[in-house]
A and B are shown apart, each in its own frame.
Chain A
Amino acid sequence: MSRTNWFSVQTELSSQAKTVLGVFSFILPILVWSIVSYVPVVWHPLVQITDPGSVSYLQVDMRMPRGPFEDAVAEAQAEGQAPPEGFPANPVYLPAPHEVAEALYTAFVTPPPSKDMPWLHQSLWHSIQVIFWGFFLSSAIGVPLGVLCGAYAPISRLTEPFVEFFRYLPAPAFGALAVAILGIYDGPKIAIIFIGTFFQQVLIIANTTRKLDGALAEAALTLGAGNLQLLTRVVVPGVLPDLYRDLRILLGWAWTYLIVAELIGTTSGITWFITQQARYQHFENVYAAIIIIGIIGLGTDLVLGMLARRFFPWDRNGK
């Protein structure tokens, strides 16, 4: 194998090197997290009590800062009484990797605290539905509108200045309004995801459409294509792979609006699970839920990426 120069600018890596580095991009943060969790000399600002000894205000499993703990030990020893015992610990909001890994499993098999509450998979499914409808409705209007804006200057001038203004308005700001109009259940949540996605979508799709090589349109004109045929047989197929890539990126943005959206009205879905677990200080479950969102997002994108290669065999920019 020839030596690779890793740091020459814009050089393609071998697919083997890409895979290895990709795996390391996950291993590195987990490694840092493990060191902070498992090496007692790194951080560990608290002491978790195993035996309160003679100190009346301490309880087993209580966490307290190291300074006061050492004071309490010194005090008890000076008085000749049993000193409290404990081991270095991190704050409760930073569970160790193995605890979160365990929670990734137990969160799914643990029944909800009461019968009318949803299981984790039900919460997740609810979230996915909210995302789907928000993104679907946005795309159903945003994609055609964006393509029209990109293809026809008058439509672009009539639409884009306002859209440009609207996209600066933070979607969650419409929360209260959405509840007043659409009620407290899924309506306002879908609306927030719609608002968060739609305006960016129109602009991005319009820009992508404008990037179509004008020579292709001219070639089609000289072949006798009419205006409508130009749109349906040249513009749309010509931008389709790029449009698909845009939608993949926008779907990621839709997920980032999910948590805020689900807090509006009655808290639901994965957000309900997260807030519920945080309230009882089950932070390993909180991390597990957040990681699950990441896995679903990345997984969807990978699947869509693989489908792209199937859909657009002529597209050479595709990964």
Chain B
Amino acid sequence: MNPEKALPSYLDQSDAVRERFERLKERPKILEVKGLDKVFETPKGETVALKDIHFDTHRREFLCVVGPSGCGKSTLIRILAGLDAQTGGEVLLEGKPVRGPGKDRGMVFQGYTLFPWLSVKRNVMFGLTVNGMGFQEAERQALQWLALIGLEKFADAYPHQLSGGMKQRVAIARALANQPRILLMDEPFGALDAQTRARMQAHLLEIWRKIDITIVFITHDLDEAIYLADRVLVLKAHPGEVQELIEVPVPHPRKMEQFISDEFLATKARLEELIYAHEEKEEGESEEEYDYPDMPRLVEVDDSVD
């Protein structure tokens, strides 16, 4: 970052970006989260994981959720998926309350969750056939989804024959095959190496552009959040609460080069301020004040690495 040049405010939006957000907000609300609470009973007493979470997501919006560790990001998305039950508040999908998992909400997990006993094609067909579609129609659609993610050549391979990035692409195709209203992604690229992750991000944006899907994407990578998202929901930890819902001022279509644009850096500075300032307050000390313990010298060192 160049300290000489003052960054614009992350709240400044170009006309094109402002217009785009106006269009986005005119679209119907797909997901409404109202006063969501989640309290875990632990042997040490109650832990409040989520407290009074409110936010809405519009159709075809890409929403990223970021926050320090322990802010309940994963708990939130598991409640949205119906895998966990909230202790208060409600989640509405197109106005209807969410109860338990369902095919209207697809999910991509951080770990690899492809069924190892099924070929890639059969994995993508899984959601279709459990929902009663005939084999041939399911197969036809699965092949179309594989073409979309560029893996039709691997239709008959088993998951263990694929690389990590390919596995997650198939997982995305498997979730999308059901044509869910919303795609939930829980740090889906967290286990991938930096290069593959960058490719997957571009790929995901490409898919999102092509089909009618709303995405809620959890990450702890701030660059990833800004690069992908229309809006970024920032949570704070202990208890998990909404700090801010940031409209990302970086114009579309997104490109890798934008990582060093002013809007990008301003947004990132704001996110860091929200997340790390809070983390330091919580731990009661900042990085500079932290005293490293004296290390006993085990070997003779006669020069310095600095």
Contacts and interface: CB of A to CB of B under 8 A. Distances in A.
B117 A219 contact: no
B174 interface: yes
Contacts, number: 73
Which of A225, A237, A314 has the most C-beta atoms of chain B within 10 angstroms of its own C-beta? A314
Interface stretch (A30-38, A226-234, A298-306): A226-234
A114 to B, nearest CB: 55
Given A216-B115, A237-B115, A238-B115, A223 B103 contact: yes
A82 interface: no
Contacts of A313: 158
B107 interface: yes
Contacts of A218: 83, 101, 107, 109, 113
Contacts of B101: 218, 221-222, 224
Contacts of B126: 220, 223, 225, 233
Contacts of B130: 220, 223-226, 229, 233
Interface string B114-143: 011110000000110011000000000000
Interface residues of A, number: 23
Interface string A144-167: 000000000000000000000000
B102 interface: yes
B116 to A, nearest CB: 5
A216 B127 CA distance: 13
A226 B111 CA distance: 22
Interface in B69-123: 81-83, 100-103, 105-107, 109, 111, 113, 115-118
B165 interface: no
A313 B159 CA distance: 11
22 contacts: A218-B83, A218-B101, A218-B109, A219-B107, A219-B109, A219-B115, A219-B171, A221-B82, A221-B83, A221-B101, A222-B82, A222-B102, A222-B105, A223-B126, A223-B178, A224-B127, A224-B131, A237-B117, A237-B118, A238-B116, A313-B158, A315-B116
Interface of A: 213, 215-216, 218-226, 229, 233-234, 237-238, 240, 312-316
